[in-house]
């Protein structure tokens, strides 16, 4: 009996020990080690991110500029990949190399062996159709949908911008973004990212052993609906934008056109440009590399970032400052001849009659006249520093040498030197009006963007003020002013009465002065030509203009790099832009043909001319 009792105790102890071992193991598996739980969850449940459709973008007339097309992200759970996985067949299906597979798979494993991450991003609908048929053969992989931007007009690349994947720095600084999310990288897409992006959702699915969806988990109790982004209507005219890009093809430079009464940007052109569809989808990285190495710098937004001296277009501003400061009157005469000397400094000029009054000085773009005007402004005060600060304040009031506040990223401020700049360069108290005389004709240290120059001529067209320039017009049908309090009226400090003489003179520039190539029959165009000195090559051609003279509907600046005189390229381009916008027709096809066929990127011989500025 004792023998049987002893055996019973031993057997019971063995069962007890085995039971305890199982309990400990179950506790470890279910509570401490999440490995099996994650395996089980991934075999049964799948969380699929529902990316929202980004808001659509339209031009001012309702023309669609940016919309979305369906695309697919191929997701992978590394732990779910079986040992006998057919890597060769999978690579053939995706049209990638074995090295490419390893690189993507290792990246996914480094993120997490148990959580899904992107293996291949932004697969087109056409490619996905082929992949979908075979995907069940590759457990561990599944697809989630997203959208890709599409640009049907293929224009306004710098203005609209593009979308790219949020990098680690963005994700670290902004809790909204996760790995694989897209974000606006440039242009409107970046500035209005929060408006356009919408709100991410999710769907928790049940899947079978073949990785096939079998419905929603708990009838969608854990799902969240994605919310599409807001639609955006822009101020630009798509037809005018496209026409300006055609006129500027095979040239480097910029056109910026504004509606003076509202500050709305009608066209913002930077050339050379690129097809915005190149920076979409799986080929984006490759195409970006090619574009970034292009010596013509198609990614560089000249409209907002290139800084040029204003050249003779700036003479209108010096005339207005002189009138406001009462050191100049419309009838005041100054002599001019070639080689005119100012305290030993010679100033070249064009061949024209002398002496010169205000109207004729703008009409003929007389350098000597504006050297005298500039000196009278500076020398009207006790010291050059005091006079210069007064002059500089007027200049910056026109929005020059500082950011305009346009609703686009990466705008540069330009440059109007402060007095300490000259104090360092010439020593304090050792410089005076003739030292900095090149500012009188828009040269020297001045550097303005085409955006600032368009804003400047807008202030002239409005006779003394400008509205903060902006690209967005409406968000989901609501006026942008309801969302943006920075769109305000900005005063120049020049009284309206002084603009009449300058505006009339700018009208004469186009009617019978240096800007006749911008002349349009029965339409009063006001403008000013400029030839911008370029120490690195041929001079730049520039022109500012607005029309009509009364109640203007468009104001613009045009820069054509290495275009020589303002009258040769910039003025006719400006005239064509004005006619296209105001009349929707071109009455001077011979000028249009010359602009469209002009090539300044290749080798163009410099031809002697008496065209002047």
What six digits make up the tokens of 36? 């099996």
Task: Read off the pLDDT of residues 164-222 as tens digits, 9 standing for 90 and up.
Answer: 988 889 998 998 888 778 899 999 999 999 999 999 887 787 766 555 666 666 666 67
Whether 326 and 403 share a structural domain: yes
Longest alpha-carbon distance in the chain:
141
In a domain, 348, yes or no: yes
Quote the CA–CA distance of 442 and 529 in Å, as a whole number: 12
Task: Read off the pLDDT of residues 128-160 as tens digits, 9 standing for 90 and up.
Answer: 888 888 888 888 898 888 888 999 999 999 999
In a domain, 206, yes or no: yes
Task: Read off the pLDDT of residues 580-597 as tens digits, 9 standing for 90 and up.
Answer: 999 999 999 999 999 999
Task: Provide the 3-class DSSP secondary structure of residue 74.
Answer: strand
Quote the CA–CA distance of 325 and 327 in Å, as a whole number: 6
Task: Read off the pLDDT of residues 324-369 as tens digits, 9 standing for 90 and up.
Answer: 999 999 999 998 866 556 665 666 677 777 889 999 999 988 999 9
431-441 average pLDDT score:
92
234-255 average pLDDT score:
97
Task: Provide the 3-class DSSP secondary structure of residue 80.
Answer: helix
In a domain, 204, yes or no: yes
Whether 387 and 479 share a structural domain: yes
Q: Does the structure show a pLDDT above 90 at 436?
A: yes
The last residue of one of the domains, among 234, 251, 268, is 234
Name the burial class of residue 11, with classes exposed (0-12), middle (13-18) and buried (19+) by CB atoms within 10 angstroms of its CB.
Answer: exposed
305-330 average pLDDT score:
96
Name the percent of the chain lying above pLDDT 70.
Answer: 88
Whether 181 and 253 share a structural domain: no
316-321 average pLDDT score:
97
In a domain, 602, yes or no: no
Name the burial class of residue 9, with classes exposed (0-12), middle (13-18) and buried (19+) by CB atoms within 10 angstroms of its CB.
Answer: exposed
What share of residues in the chain are helix, strand, coil (percent, to 5)?
40, 20, 40
Quote the CA–CA distance of 130 and 134 in Å, as a whole number: 7
Whether 136 and 277 share a structural domain: no
Whether 328 and 229 share a structural domain: no
Task: Tell me which residue range forms the domain holding 413.
Answer: 238-288+309-597
In a domain, 23, yes or no: no
In a domain, 32, yes or no: no
Residue 9 CA, chain-centre distance (Å), reads 84
Whether 65 and 149 share a structural domain: yes
In a domain, 89, yes or no: no
pLDDT at 201: 84
267-292 average pLDDT score:
92
We report the CATH number of the domain holding residue 221 as 3.90.1310.10
Quote the CA–CA distance of 219 and 12 in Å, as a whole number: 47
Whether 249 and 230 share a structural domain: no
385-404 average pLDDT score:
96
- The residues pairing with 117 across neighbouring beta strands, listed in sequence order, are 76
* Number of domain units in the chain: 2
Whether 263 and 379 share a structural domain: yes
Per-residue pLDDT band for 605 (boundaries 50, 70, 90) equals: very low
Across the chain, mean pLDDT equals 88
Whether 211 and 191 share a structural domain: yes
What's the Cα-to-Cα distance from 114 to each of 73, 346, 585, rounded to whole Å?
18, 78, 63
Whether 166 and 211 share a structural domain: yes
Per-residue pLDDT band for 608 (boundaries 50, 70, 90) equals: very low
In sequence order, the 6+-apart residues with CB closer than 8 A to the CB of 266 are: 60, 235, 236, 237, 240, 257, 258, 259, 554, 556, 581
Task: Read off the pLDDT of residues 11-41 as tens digits, 9 standing for 90 and up.
Answer: 766 767 777 776 776 665 555 555 444 445 5
Nearest alpha-carbon partner for 482 in 492, 490, 474: 474
Whether 284 and 197 share a structural domain: no
Q: Does the structure show a pLDDT above 90 at 422?
A: yes
In a domain, 73, yes or no: yes
pLDDT at 604: 41
Dihedral pair phi/psi, residue 314, rounded to 5°: -75, -15
Give counts: helices (H), strands (E), the chain: 21, 21
Quote the CA–CA distance of 424 and 128 in Å, as a whole number: 64
Whether 76 and 190 share a structural domain: yes
We report the CATH number of the domain holding residue 261 as 3.40.710.10
Quote the CA–CA distance of 268 and 577 in Å, as a whole number: 12
Contact 550, 525 (CB under 8 A): no
Dihedral pair phi/psi, residue 95, rounded to 5°: 60, 50
């Amino acid at each position: 009996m004792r023998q049987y009792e002893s055996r019973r105790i031993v057997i019971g102890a063995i069962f007890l020990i085995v039971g305890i071992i199982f309990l400990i193991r179950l506790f470890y598996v279910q509570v401490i080690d999440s490995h099996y739980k994650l395996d089980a969850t991934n075999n049964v449940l799948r969380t699929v991110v529902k990316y929202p459709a980004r808001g659509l973008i339209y031009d001012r007339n309702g023309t669609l500029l940016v919309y979305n097309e369906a695309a697919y992200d191929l997701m992978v759970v590394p732990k779910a990949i079986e040992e006998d996985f057919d890597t060769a067949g999978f690579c053939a299906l995706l049209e990638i190399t074995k090295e490419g597979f390893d690189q993507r798979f290792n990246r996914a494993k480094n993120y997490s062996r148990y959580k899904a991450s992107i293996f291949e991003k932004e697969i087109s609908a056409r490619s996905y159709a082929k992949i979908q048929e075979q995907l069940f053969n590759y457990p561990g992989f599944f697809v989630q949908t997203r959208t890709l931007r599409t640009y049907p007009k293929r224009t306004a690349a710098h203005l609209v911008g593009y979308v790219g994947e949020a990098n680690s720095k963005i994700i670290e600084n902004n809790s909204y973004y996760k790995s694989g999310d897209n974000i606006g990288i440039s242009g409107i897409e970046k500035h209005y990212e929060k408006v356009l992006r919408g709100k991410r959702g999710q769907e928790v699915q049940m899947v079978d052993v073949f990785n096939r969806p079998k419905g929603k988990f708990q009838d969608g109790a854990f799902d969240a609906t994605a919310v599409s982004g807001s639609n955006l209507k822009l101020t630009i005219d798509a037809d005018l934008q496209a026409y300006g890009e055609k006129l500027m093809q095979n040239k480097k430079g910029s056109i910026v056109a504004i509606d003076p009464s509202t500050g709305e940007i009608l066209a913002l052109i930077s050339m050379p440009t690129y097809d915005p569809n190149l920076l979409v989808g799986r080929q984006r990285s490759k195409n970006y590399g090619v574009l970034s190495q292009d010596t013509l710098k198609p990614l560089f937004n000249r409209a907002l970032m290139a800084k040029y001296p204003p050249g003779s277009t700036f003479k209108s501003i010096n005339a207005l400052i002189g009138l406001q400061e009462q050191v100049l009157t419309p009838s005041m005469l100054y002599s001019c001849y070639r080689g005119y000397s100012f305290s030993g400094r010679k100033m070249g000029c064009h061949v024209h009659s002398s002496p010169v009054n205000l109207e004729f000085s703008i009409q003929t773009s007389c350098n000597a006249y504006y050297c005298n005007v500039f000196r009278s402004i500076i020398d009207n005060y006790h010291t050059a520093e005091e006079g210069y600060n007064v002059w500089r304040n007027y200049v910056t009031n026109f929005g020059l040498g500082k950011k305009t506040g346009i609703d686009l990223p990466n705008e540069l401020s330009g440059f109007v030197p402060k007095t300490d700049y000259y104090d360092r360069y010439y020593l304090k108290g050792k410089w005076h009006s003739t030292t900095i005389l090149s500012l009188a004709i828009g040269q020297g240290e001045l550097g303005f963007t085409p955006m600032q120059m368009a804003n400047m001529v807008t202030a002239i067209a409005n006779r003394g003020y400008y509205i903060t320039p902006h690209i967005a017009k409406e968000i989901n049908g609501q006026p942008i002013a309801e969302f943006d309090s920075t769109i305000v009226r900005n005063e120049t400090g020049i009284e309206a009465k002084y603009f009449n003489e300058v505006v009339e003179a700018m009208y004469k520039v186009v009617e019978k002065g240096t800007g006749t190539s911008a002349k349009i029959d029965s339409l009063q165009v006001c403008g000013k030509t400029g030839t911008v000195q370029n120490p690195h090559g041929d001079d730049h051609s520039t022109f500012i203009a607005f029309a009509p003279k009364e109640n203007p509907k468009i104001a613009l600046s045009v820069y054509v790099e290495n275009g020589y005189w303002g009258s040769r390229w910039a003025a006719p381009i400006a005239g064509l832009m004005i006619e296209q916008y105001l009349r929707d027709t071109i009455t001077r096809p011979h000028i249009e043909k010359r602009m469209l066929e002009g090539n300044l990127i290749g080798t163009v011989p410099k031809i002697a001319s008496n065209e002047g500025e």
